[in-house]
Structure 1
């Protein structure tokens, strides 16, 4: 489980095609302090498993289904990704429950600075909109964010300067795809109501 509080921005060092998927070598610093082979790590919203760890990088593998459902398949050498290790039992829970199970990708419609802050608007698949509420939580690229605006199948989010600098949002552009995970609590509620 993750919190959506990004620990650092990693950089894709290499992308290697393997049987049934892709192997990413990711350059990092902070997350390497205690990362071990077999540990779960959130890479721009997708929960992956570390299959190799060194002093300068770690490697993860993504299978075909993951590549189809996420934006990971668009990554190349030099791409910036958000990284977060799994929440430790002694850790603070500052964001919201992020499983690292990407529901779909969204498309950035608007991304601009407004005063000191920024505004992000993302178009989601219509099927996900029933799980999104004003002032509710949503994970975009693995970042725990609060929904400020809803318009048809678009969500608007106010972004503080720290988030722009501390995540890969600073390098994103209009038209790019981003990984989306809706609040799992909404899905649990839907399931409970369906089985009453």
Structure 2
């Protein structure tokens, strides 16, 4: 994280590759490794923590952040100056490593703030009262049929229940990923599985 001269914004830089972040290889969309939106949420929240804005108000995904089979992708997160109420605009950008003549691609934009965490009510009993069990067998085969190929790291759905318009899911991180889970606020594979 580097502070920008003359303003209260910051720039974070990094690199993603299948060698350094092998778990990303388990997130394939139409035959291409794509960084899941949940991982972008994690990156943006980490950037926000660094400037005292740990609340993500919104994140709009614009262009998929693709990880090449060989080599890596450079990533930059820009966090703008705070507005009158402490909100900051954030941008996620990428460029293939070695393609310095290419323009940076804006993958996502969002807003960080100093807002507080909401309280979730009614989850004191599990499974949810009044929930009807949903068969989750074959969910990943069905998703693969529409181009979303999830490897073992992202196959976290264990059970689900429906109560009216609400869906409740029980998800778990793959055993191999649990040792590294502490490096994340919430492991992106776990958050991504909750969306399945």
TM-score normalised per structure 1: 0.27
Query: Which of 1 and 2 has greater Rg?
Result: 2
* Higher strand residue share: 1
TM superposition score normalised by structure 2: 0.27
